[in-house]
Chain A
Amino acid sequence: MSVAKRIIPCLDVDKGRVVKGINFVDIVDAGDPVEIAKKYDKEGADEITFLDITASHEGRDNILGVVEQVANEVFIPLTVGGGVKSFSDVRDLLSAGADKVTINTAAVANPDLINEVTDKIGRQCIVVAVDIKKSKEQYNVFTHGGRNKTQLDAVNWCLECQARGAGEILLTSMDRDGTKEGFDNEILCEISNKLSIPVIASGGAGSLQHLYDAISLGKADAVLAASIFHFGEYSISQAKDFLRDKGVFVR
């Protein structure tokens, strides 16, 4: 028996407020991260991920306040990412109450950061977010929120992250992100099979079947989704029921 497959809702936070349409009828303030996190916890979310998309430098500190407020009220694992550049950024987020921090661009620019966090704090707190896009011959890794293409090959990069001590990989298919056509299970499966650390699937979920496919075909340990939960199409408990009926071990 393994651990339960996780369902992770992801919330985009801008200047301390949750953005992107959230239309829960029973939430008075849909932009309040604490209210939304509470709602997801109640529905059975296994973890919550906050992605700080604040563009301005001045707004950056808001995320620490958000993490602290949420951690005061919601008692499930919290993962936070977006704009994390240095070891001190990681440490500040963990001190504010985050359990895990995701790094993306900074990991590519300075891969030693992965080793540093692992050595000083432990591998369970570091998640490397890997944004990938298919080209003719390989999947390339992208940084800066998908704006910059690198020559890194997705599979090799994930293996390197693992060797350096990453605790998990959050794999986002840029080709599928926002399409609602399902995860890219081919590359997901290849990477999951090659790694011994958990792989979280992200990008493309449009239905509950897609979540199931990522687990069964893509061999994902967890699925991260935003819009299918935020727009009220499905609740997390519906997703859990669906997976459980298909024989997936879920909480």
Chain B
Amino acid sequence: MKNIAVIDYGMSNLHSVIKSFQKASNKKYKVCVATTNEDLKKASMIVLPGQGAAKSCMQKLTNSFPRLHEHILNKPFFGICLGFQILFEKSYEDNGVDCLSIIKGSVNDFSKQISQDLKVPHMGWNNVEQKKDHIIWSDIPRTSFFYFVHSYYASAESKEDISSTTTYDIDFTSSVIKDNIFACQFHPEKSSKYGLQLISNFITWSESLK
């Protein structure tokens, strides 16, 4: 049975991510937890969830998965939250952290940019505006609510990479799509039916890649 590898580097609760991929894949795939490079090698798709701080995330990932960068470029990849942010060149969290530089752009501090009346973290349901016609958005209305929890936001430099944007006082990149990579700031595993639909669309899209 083909498998979907969910990367575990000890920084996030994987329960809902695993269950949502199981549900959305309709049991066609085995959803496994990946803790080593070997696990990634065997996987048909890679999911990188994440919560917490960018610096320790990058450290833990580079220690446990020295060839992660290569795998991300070569297999269908789904990044969530911190797993989305570390695809950019640089995050300004913790006085600056160099990230994977797969997507051009940076990750910045909300509290330095938005009105004092708005709360940080940006937590709750907000609108995701699709910027691309793509199979990943099949059966999801062009503007739909997804669930967010984050204090830093991404700005992709190239319009080509931006799959959706969201407004929280400022417009930020809420998802990117590039080659075999889809990644989003919001949590599809907590976004009810459209979240599951998105995951299911990703699986369908992955199967068409190669």
Contact = CB atoms under 8 A, between A and B. Distances in A.
Does B associate with A? yes
Contact of B190 (A77, A123, A167): A77
Interface string B11-44: 0010110011001000000000000000000000
Given A71-B15, A97-B15, A196 B190 contact: no
Interface in A38-64: 41, 46
A251 B145 CA distance: 6
Interface size class of A (residues with CB under 8 A): 20 to 34
A123 B121 CA distance: 9
Nearest to B116: A196
Interface stretch (A2-10, A146-154, A170-178, A181-189): A2-10
A244 to B, nearest CB: 12
A71 B17 CA distance: 10
A4 B15 contact: no
B167 interface: yes
B160 interface: no
Contact of B126 (A4, A96, A196): A4
15 contacts: A1-B126, A1-B127, A3-B168, A46-B124, A73-B23, A75-B23, A75-B190, A76-B147, A76-B190, A95-B13, A99-B13, A99-B16, A196-B119, A221-B124, A251-B145
Interface of A: 1-4, 6, 41, 46, 68, 71-73, 75-77, 94-97, 99, 122-124, 167, 196-198, 221, 251
Given A1-B168, A4-B145, 20 more contacts: A1-B167, A1-B169, A2-B118, A2-B119, A3-B126, A4-B124, A41-B192, A71-B16, A72-B19, A75-B16, A75-B189, A75-B196, A94-B13, A95-B13, A95-B15, A96-B15, A99-B16, A99-B190, A124-B123, A124-B149
